[in-house]
Amino acid sequence: MADKDGHPDVDEFDLSKILHALSDENRRSVIVQLAEQPDDTEQFCSVFGVPWAQSTRTHHFKVLRTAGLVWQRDVGNGRMTRLRRDDVEKVFPGLLDQIVTADRAARSQGAAGPAPRKPAD
């Protein structure tokens, strides 16, 4: 059963919730940034460089938290966030590595990715 802050137990992880959380480019960026840090690194929500207003930031981190991707704890008037690396790896082995690899590939091609195709005449 999820705790009072919405952190699900490992046996409650749902792939559709995780994929939904990762479908947003900025939320995915948060996960990649955490995944590239040493285990158990914690960051304040404000350090991720996402273009969200405070209320929107709260929503997006809740999506990540309730999907089981991050663990958050209150510190003063802020929240510290850390990746639930071991839990995600236990339930979905290799998922985080694939996300980081795909992000690096996208960055090496330029964030815009491939140019859009023009419709055939």
Report which secondary-structure segment, H or E, holds 44. Answer: strand 43-44
* CATH of the domain spanning 10-108: 1.10.10.10
User: What pLDDT does residue 3 have?
Assistant: 77
pTM of the model: 0.84
| 9: exposed, middle or buried (Cβ count in 10 Å: 0-12, 13-18, 19+) | exposed
| 113: exposed, middle or buried (Cβ count in 10 Å: 0-12, 13-18, 19+) | exposed
The pLDDT tens digits along the chain (121 residues) read 777 777 999 999 999 999 999 999 999 999 999 999 999 999 998 889 898 888 899 999 999 999 999 999 999 888 999 999 999 999 999 999 999 999 989 888 875 444 444 444 4
Output the CA torsion 74→75→78→81 (10° steps).
-60
User: What pLDDT does residue 116 have?
Assistant: 43
